[in-house]
Structure 1
Amino acid sequence: MGGKGSAKRKVKSKKSGNPQKQGQGRVGAGVRNDNRGAHYERSQVVTNGSMTATTYVQQYAPVPTALDALPALPQEFTGRADDLAFILGVLDPERPGGGPAVAVLSGWGGVGKTTLAYAAGHAAQRRGWFTGVLLVDLRGYDPHPAQAEDALEALLRSLGVRPEHLPPPGAGREVLYRSQLNAREAAGERLLVVADNASALAQVQPLLPPGLHGMIVTSRDALAGLGRMRTVNRLQPEDAVALLQAALKKNDPDDVRVGEDPGAAERVVLACGCLPLALQITAALLAQDPGQPLAERADALSQTEGVLDGLSDGHRSLRTMFDQSLERLSPQEQDLFRLLSLNPGPDIATPAAAVLSGQPQAATERLLGRLAASHLIERNPVARGRWQMHDLLRAYAHEQAQAVKARGRDPRRRYEQAHTRLIAYYTEHAAAADTHFHPPGSVVSSRFADREQALVWFDAERENLIATAHTTPQAGRALGFALGFYLDWRRRLQDHLVIRSLALDACRTLNDTRNEASAWNNLGNVLQELRRFDEAHDAHETARTLHQQTGDTHGQATAWNNLGTTLQELRRYEEALHDHETARTLYQQTGDTHGQATAWNNLGTTLQELRRYEEALHHHETARTLFQQTGDTHRQATAWGNLGNALQELRRYEEALHHHETARTLFQQTGDTHRQAMAWNNVGTAYRGLGCFEEAVEAGQQAVGMLVEAEDWFRAGEGWGELAMTLTAAGADPGKVRDAWNESAAAYARVGADEEAAASRAHTDNPEILEE
């Protein structure tokens, strides 16, 4: 038989030169070796005295196997306990339920999938589950990925199959591979196959081991259908810091930079996205510059522009890793990835992404799913239909978009048009949602079914909307007005301040005097909520002046109303009374019943501060009637509560309790949890007046719990103070009373409030400020 591995026989004949030796028989033998691991045996036989036959037999030594292929783990490996537990649960030969022992690890490039697979392999071997490990790198994201037949050849060689016994590429190799593994299993062996860096099912499926053998697959894509899937995420910050420290100490055991400045170390790892590859590159750069403080490195990495330049050490590059993933995508997928960098906020909904792409929503969703499967974006784990991108990938996508825009006028124009469409989408939807917060009788957009649906949309898009407001003056003006009611409703006061300030700046930039007056008014309102009363007063005075200049009587009425509420807080009650009366008169002139109701309500709260409770009752009853006429349930609740406050001051506690409970119910119906909390507080004080201390304590506790949750620390201070007085009146343990007063003081301290002045208020009044 021919072939490189067959025995070779060489026969040569010659005439004997010694006739005397004819007929004598002699056997001789010798051995020689070559450098290929083969040995040759020679034998000579002399017969009939005339012919000599020499035979050479070539025999190969046994081909060694490679069943200990796992590299040692880097000493900085850390923070993967949950992932390891998952993989070992899949590989455990005693696992419940059986099924293939195949774990598929996916995640974006540089997240540490390969090292995790090695760690799992070592752990499984320590448990005695496998007698050997086969390792193959499929190079799935290289320009020329390994094909399945190449991987099968490498695995068969590792199993000890000689090259001359390898079948040609095709099904024969897969059959031989399974046969070899079956034979190993029959001999009592169990092998683990690690298929690293796969990019397609076709690379891996022929490698799936039969029987009791196990497999770990790593990929940047979600390869469904192979086995149990696990997404490998970034490290937790504390684990990332531990990795950075270990990597630095591996180079220099005396490197103490992490220990000396843990705050800067945390900044470094967060700038690296807690990504193991980025951390290892950063550690290498820090090792090359042992004098560089971590704070300096953190500052460099925190620069949005060029952040990826700081994540290359000459041998490894995060940008190259991202390039490899992007190049595998279709042109449409690549284009959408770049376009997503135009979204100003942290995540994006499928409809907004469709606006960016200019494609139908269903087609866009398919593209987004492919990007998520490639781990270039992620599905939002909380909100379905929303997609997010890590900051480093966002920086990379932005680079890619800028590169495309630089190719010429048409690409640049297309990206600018996409950005304009997205801004229009956010501003138009925000304006539509805002209509559900306007007074009854206002035009309501049909884009949202009701206020609840509008709230859900606002909650989901809040960060995108605020970020969009920073993009252009037009967007700042539009969103500065559209977000106000919502942010006040949700008690997002810092966001509210930012958005109102942006609206004012935008109106000035655009020379929009009419809307500038309204912007000043709205800014004054949020300053009131933040208890910055002097600034609020100045803002409302400016609004009033601008409305007077433009001849806007209704705007003047609103400014007078809000000036009055500010003056109440400044304890300038006589002036406040004048301002609310002026507002009422102007609302009457413009025929605004709802505005009149607000002025009547605020006149009542001012009269209460002046201790003119009978008059206050009349004003609040008038306000309640007018709010009922306009169908404003929410402000009816406010009027009911203020009536209750006046009745308490008149010691008519039974009536007061009824009014406060009615207010609480109406606030609950309208979904205003903040005002519900204030109503609970008033219910408690009414119960205390009736001597029903158990009910009073329960209501007070409910109030402070809700106010703390809303982070309204001033009113939480009021609530704790009321609860302390109830506990005192009930003869409660002095320790509990003291604790309640301490909680009250702590809450006031958080907002820098005057505790004595705040505590002097027996209950919370509810003046109304008006947005424009």
Structure 2
Amino acid sequence: MGGKGSAKRKKKGKKSGDPRKQGQERAGGAVHNEYRGASFTNSQVLGQGSLTASTYVQQYAPVPTALDALPVLPQEFSGRADDLAFILDVLDPERPAGVAAVAVLSGWGGVGKTTLAYAAGHAAQQRGWFSGVLLVDLRGYDSHPAQAEDALEALLRSLGVRPEHLPPPGAGRDALYRSQLNARQEAGERLLVVADNASALAQVQPLIPPGHHGMLVTSRHGLAGLGRLRTVNRLQPEDAVTLLDAALKKNDPDDARVEEDPGAAERVVLACGCLPLALQITAALLAQDPGQPLSERADALSEAEGVLDGLSDGERSLRAMFDQSLERLSPQEQDLFRLLSLNSGPDISTAAAAVLAGQPQPAAERLLRLLAASHLIERNPAVRGRWQMHDLLRAYANEQAEAVKARGRDPRRRYDQAHTRLIEYYTEHATAADTLFRPPGSAVSSRFADREQALAWFDAERENLIATAHTTPQAGLELVFALGRYLTWRRRLQDLVIVQSLALDACRTLNDTRNEAGVRHNLGNTLQELRRFDDALHAHETARTLFQQTGDTHGQASAWNNLGNTLRELRRFDDALHAHETARTLLQQTGDTHGQASAWNNLGNTLQELRRFDDALHAHETARTLYQQTGDTHGQASAWNSLGLTLRELRRFDDALHAHETGRTLYQQTGDTHGQAMAWNNLGVAYRGLARFDDGVAAGRHAVEMLVAAEDWFRAGEAWGELAMTLAAAGADPGQVCAAWSESAAAYTHAGADEEAAASRAHADSTEILDK
């Protein structure tokens, strides 16, 4: 193994520069020097007889060595520090014995693999690790890729092998290649071989150098088995902006468009996917139009239908690069690649892809792995068994799918059927998962083992389900009812409003009054959670009217019950009391025990506001009992928590503490972190009533941490305020108390609720504390 110092080079002829540009021709994609001179005959005895075989070999002129093949790096090269560190670690001559100095850089077309390999080669030479660099372009994605024999001939010539000493194809070129490199190693030289643009193992394996020489391979495929693998990803946005700025300044040093509008520059690089080739093409187009603002270019690139049209400068085209990769795929791989564009969300599971392709899951997974090896898709790094596609490749896949559908009615029908299968897969699974969130006694699907498994599936597919809800009115209507409980559970309330609005539009389109009532009812609940009380009131009143029109007594009862909650938030307590009592009466008529429990609990909350605490206590105890009868653990948690509030108002702090602790435990059992946070907040207040200030502060901090994590900013503001009062009661440092009030004001402001009042309250309270 050679040391870090480079051996003195043997005397060579005139430096040849890039061997591909010095009077050469290409055959099969490899580099070939021109030849001159007459042919000669090489005869070889075969066996003991006189039979000989004659091979006619063209005589070549002497060829100098070409060991300085690396092109100069473009001045816009940026980023890649981690990639370079990885490659240099592989090439380090001090690496452990027996570890091959071979790195394989893979990634999709245009991501900058070749330039990265050049940068690594230059960095390694600057460290004195190599006496020279051999470069061969295998043209793996051209219509006629280079064969290993062609590449070996090019490399042997670069090593200075005389033409008459070149064996004919298939007659030991690889042996001569290894012999040449071994001889150089014995002479103290260490060479780096760069095999660019490979598409198959067979192209590269004969080129692997022996001994302590190094090798870099670039490919759009993950060529396992050659050396250490490294996937080259797109640039970080800040590095992409640096590249764009440098590329513009290379054409005009005074081009200041990036500095003048950094926001637009970021939009441009994101629209280019932070892909170096796309950025270079864009820079070239901008250079041709120096008066075009970056914002105008960003707007043009943001149009999904024309983004690939905007990434071609006449000489380079991202679409052409993708075409080359697609042509290397089998028909089945090409078909699945196109079909994946039908998935509206950001990624897809193996199971969903199998449904889309209409194939068994093992067959679909094999094709997905092949597409990932070609870097046309990639594995989701966070969740195994899920696959994702870059936006530019998605646009290309969509183009390809539309081109297939345009061929006739049968192809279009096949793609429409695939899309329908995928929508049905999502809606059926979402409906099955939703059964794990319904009240006790409801039918439960066997598709999921338990609520945790259903939650995991919902979490993984949430964005796909919301995107699918946009595709057809029927899909939007079916998914709103399947997603409602889950999105409420996870506090994804803005997502829920989007889905409910889509479903409402679908009901109008389909003239579906019955489902419109349910959608409006659920929308009212979500708007109330978002503290949009006037909008929630309108939604509940409209839902109640529609339920009445369709004769749905149970629906009317639910609408009255939730209408009462909104009226309570609007401080219309008498109206709220009437609404809850009406709901309770209707639910008794329908025999819905679980619904009665909810009505009793909400009635108790309103009675608290009316300061009828004994009546509220009875209402909450009744709700708790009914929830116990139905086996609803989550409902019991809610009833216990509300009961604790009433007990606290009755100054029964020990009983209140027990109630809140029980509620917290039950919330934990059901996995409701938001409910736990509310229980912790109430525990803190109960502890304060018992003068257990340390426990109160600890409980309050638990509450604010969980509510901030849940991004429930309004209730986080309440919790910070309660914590501030507990700190003040405990005699804490005034600075801590003021800090808590400041956090409370900030949370209220973040929630967009009564910002001025919240800030004024926090200021007044903190000032009073400091004065004391």
Shift of 1:614: 1.1
Residue 338 of structure 2 corresponds to 338
Q: How does 1:505-524 map to 2 (within 5 A)?
A: 505-524=505-524
Q: Deviations over 1:439-481 (max 9, x none)?
A: 0000111111111111000000000000000000000100111
Deviation at 1:171, TM superposition (A): 4.7
Which amino acid letter does the alignment assign opposite residue 278 of structure 1? A
CA contact (8 A) 1:721 1:759 kept: no
Q: CA deviation at 1:755?
A: 6.6
Quote the residue 1:155 is aligned against.
155
The whole-number CA distance in structure 2 between the counterparts of 1:623 and 1:562 is 16
Residues in 2 aligned to 1:572 and 1:68: alpha-carbon distance in whole angstroms: 85
CA distance in 2, matches of 1:406, 1:342: 15
CA distances 1:562-606 after superposition (whole Å, capped 9, x unpaired)? 110000000000110000000000000000000111010011000
5 Å-filtered alignment, 1:565-714, equals: 565-714=565-714
Deviations 1:58-97 (A, max 9, x none): x999631000000000000001000000000000000235
Where in structure 2 are there 5+ consecutive unaligned residues?
1-34, 39-58, 762-772
Alignment-mate amino acid for residue 233 of structure 2: N
Question: Would the aligned equivalents of 2:65 and 2:158 in 1 still touch at CA under 8 Å?
Answer: yes
Q: Which has the larger radius of gyration?
A: 1
Counterpart in 1 of 2:189? 189
Alpha-carbon contact 2:62-2:163 (below 8 Å) kept: no
- Go from structure 1 to structure 2 and tell me whether the alpha carbon gap of 1:97 and 1:63 turns closer, same or farther (over 3 Å shift): closer
Cα distance in 1 for residues equivalent to 2:576 and 2:759: 21
Secondary structure at 2:626 match in 1: helix
Conserved 8 A contact 2:60-2:162: no
**1:256 lines up with 2:274 in the alignment:** no
Q: 594-603 or 747-756: which moved more?
A: 747-756
Counterpart code for 2:311: L
Give the Cα–Cα distance (whole angstroms) in 2 for the partners of residues 735 and 88 of structure 1: 53
Shift of 1:414: 0.3
In the alignment, the residues of structure 2 paired with residue 525 and residue 214 of structure 1 have an alpha-carbon distance, to the nearest angstrom, of 65
Q: In 2, distance between residues paired with 1:522 and 1:757?
A: 30
Q: Distance in 2 between matches of 1:358 and 1:604?
A: 54
Task: Specify the SS of the correspondent of 1:308.
Answer: coil
2:367 aligned residue: 367
Which residue of structure 2 aligns with residue 389 of structure 1?
A: 389
Q: Could you say which residue in structure 1 is the equivalent of 2:229?
A: 229
Cα RMSD after superposing both structures: 1.6
C-alpha contact 2:613 2:646 (8 A) present in aligned 1: yes
Q: Which shifted more, 275-284 or 98-107?
A: 98-107
Alignment match, 2:739:
739
Report the Cα offset of residue 431 of structure 1. Answer: 0.6
Q: Distance in 2 between matches of 1:527 and 1:509?
A: 23
Name 2:431's counterpart in structure 1: 431
8 Å contact kept, 2:197–2:217: yes
Q: 1:626 to 1:759 in 2, by over 3 A?
A: farther
Deviation for aligned residue 1:760 = 13
User: How has the CA–CA distance of structure 1 residues 292 and 484 changed in structure 2, closer, same or farther, with 3 Å as cutoff?
Assistant: same
> One-letter code of the match for 1:115?
T
Q: Secondary structure at the match of 2:114?
A: helix
Counterpart position of 2:459: 459
Distance in 2 between the 1:756 and 1:586 partners?
Answer: 42
SS across alignment from 1:602: helix
The 8 Å contact of residues 131 and 191 in structure 2, kept in 1 or not, is answered as yes
Letter of the structure 1 residue corresponding to residue 388 of structure 2: Q
Equivalenced residues, count? 707
Q: Distance in 1 between matches of 2:60 and 2:197?
A: 35
Is the CA contact (8 Å cut-off) linking 2:64 and 2:160 kept in structure 1? yes
Measured against aligned partners, the alpha-carbon deviations of 1:730-769 in whole angstroms (never above 9, x if no partner) come to 00000000000010011111122237988999xxxxxxxx
| Letter of the 1:406 counterpart | A
Match of 1:172 in 2: 172
Q: Which SS does the other structure have where 1:230 is aligned?
A: strand
Q: How does 1:68-467 map to 2 (within 5 A)?
A: 68-96=68-96, 98-467=98-467
Separation in 1 of the partners of 2:667 and 2:724?
25
The whole-number CA distance in structure 2 between the counterparts of 1:503 and 1:755 is: 33
1:447–1:591 CA distance, 2 compared to 1 (3 A): same
Query: Is residue 721 from structure 1 mapped to residue 706 from structure 2 by the alignment?
Result: no
Kept in 1, the 8 Å contact 2:60–2:163? The answer is: no
Q: Distance in 1 between matches of 2:601 and 2:205?
A: 74
Match of 1:477 in 2: 477
The one-letter amino acid paired with 1:511 is N
CA apart distance, 1:107: 0.1
Give 3-state SS (helix, strand or coil) of 2:255's partner: coil
Letter in 1 for 2:172: G
Tell me the TM-score normalised to structure 1 length. 0.90
State whether residues 339 and 401 of structure 2, in contact with CA within 8 Å, keep that contact through their aligned partners in structure 1: yes
> Structure 1: how far apart are the matches of 2:134 and 2:261?
43
Name the amino acid aligned to 1:124.
A
Matches of 1:96 and 1:647, distance apart in 2: 72
Pairing 1:41-60 to 2, within 5 Å after superposition: none
TM-score between the two structures when normalised by the length of structure 2: 0.90
User: Measured at CA, do residues 578 and 174 of structure 1 come closer, stay the same or move farther in structure 2, by a change above 3 Å?
Assistant: same
- 3-state DSSP of counterpart to 1:130: coil
What is the distance in 1 between the residues matched to 2:74 and 2:194? Answer: 18
Question: Which string of whole-angstrom CA distances, capped at 9 and with x for unpartnered residues, describes residues 167-203 of structure 1?
Answer: 0111510000000000000011000000000000000
**Aligned 8 A contact 2:436 2:454 in 1:** yes
Between the aligned partners of 2:96 and 2:702, the Cα distance in structure 1 is: 48
Q: Is the 8 A contact 2:554 2:586 kept in 1?
A: yes
Taking only the aligned residue pairs, the percentage that are identical comes to 83
Deviation sequence 1:82-136 (CA, Å, 0-9, x none): 0000000000000235411000000000000000000000000000000000000
CA–CA distance in 1 between the matches of 2:201 and 2:753?
64
CA contact (8 A) 2:352 2:422 kept: yes
Aligned partners of 2:602 and 2:421: how far apart in 1? 43
The residue aligned with 1:43 is none
Q: Which amino acid aligns with 2:605?
A: T
Tell me whether 1:748 sits opposite 2:748 in the alignment. Answer: yes
Q: C-alpha separation between the residues in 1 aligned to 2:292 and 2:758? A: 52
1: CA distance between counterparts of 2:551 and 2:75?
75
2: CA distance between counterparts of 1:313 and 1:728?
Answer: 67
Contact 2:60 2:164 in 1 (8 A): no
Alignment partners' CA distance in 2, 1:675 and 1:386:
31
**Matching residue's letter, 1:508:** R
Report deviation, 1:37.
11
Q: Which runs of 5+ in 1 are unaligned?
A: 1-34, 39-58, 762-772
What is the letter of the counterpart of residue 742 of structure 1?
S
**Superposition deviation, residue 640 in structure 1:** 0.4
Match for 1:340: what amino acid?
Answer: L
**Hey, what does 1:493 align to over in structure 2?**
493
Q: Does the 8 Å contact 2:749/2:758 carry over to 1?
A: no
The change in CA–CA distance for 1:37 and 1:336 in structure 2 (over 3 A counts) is closer
Amino acid at match of 1:65: T
Matches of 1:701 and 1:136 in 2, distance apart? 63
Alignment check: 8 A CA contact 2:300 2:306 kept: no
